[in-house]
A and B are shown apart, each in its own frame.
Chain A
Amino acid sequence: FHSPQLKDEL
């Protein structure tokens, strides 16, 4: 998997 993006969803 790609690098973890900022989790902007609840």
Chain B
Amino acid sequence: MNMFRFLGDMTHLFSVLVLLLKIHTIKSCAGISLKTQELYAIVFATRYLDLFTDYISLYNTVMKLVYLGSSLSIVWYMRRHKLVRRSYDKDQDTFRHHFLILPCLILALLINEKFTFMEVMWAFSLYLEAVAILPQLVLLQRTRNIDNLTGQYVFLLGAYRSFYILNWIYRYFTEVHYVHWITWISGLVQTLLYGDFFYYYFHSWKNNEKLQLPA
């Protein structure tokens, strides 16, 4: 475990806690894309299939349970909770996320580290995670006015993968034969997708004005 990966995991954990805090305290999910949350639940479910077969460390197991639990509870809140679900603007959150799942599955069947169920699911979860933010970014473009917590949530989510990229560079130079092209390329694509959001986020932060994304 190196500092970059630890910072990445903490940033990711914090992004999820910011979102849960928002939904739990103000009982609102305005500006949050349910589709992105559902995609993340699928990402964690398919990536952590080895939860009970491979024990790596207590930290690894606990974090997996936290990610699974939080993503599923966020989806539950947005679908079932009588107050929260009312604030979900489903007519704005229209990205057809099913169109993301099939290509990722096909790609995982074609490009994987080994043609086994676990490896294909693992590759699928990486490809899906790379594009899972798209419904959320589209929703932000549509709703334009981004409240602070949502902006912070998306920013932290993008920052976590940036830390992971530093972690992969570090591990490449410090560990023998540490090569994971599938992870590296997916992680890079994922971070690039946040590019313009980061640009506008920093601008609004620098000029101390409300975050506005161009239409």
Contacts and interface: CB of A to CB of B under 8 A. Distances in A.
B56 A6 contact: yes
B183 A9 contact: yes
Q: Nearest 5 pairs between A and B by C-beta?
A: A4-B113, A1-B113, A4-B114, A8-B56, A10-B63
B38 interface: no
Given A7-B122, A10-B12, A10-B60, A1 B181 contact: yes
B96 interface: no
Query: Interface on chain A toward B: helix, strand, loop, or mixed SS?
Result: loop
B89 interface: no
Nearest to B12: A10
Interface residues of B, number: 25
Interface residues of A, number: 10
Given A4-B113, A7-B54, A10-B9, 17 more contacts: A1-B112, A1-B113, A1-B182, A2-B113, A2-B179, A3-B113, A4-B119, A5-B178, A6-B54, A7-B56, A8-B57, A9-B5, A9-B164, A9-B167, A9-B183, A10-B12, A10-B63
A2 to B, nearest CB: 7
A10 B50 contact: no
A3 to B, nearest CB: 7
Contacts of B50: 7
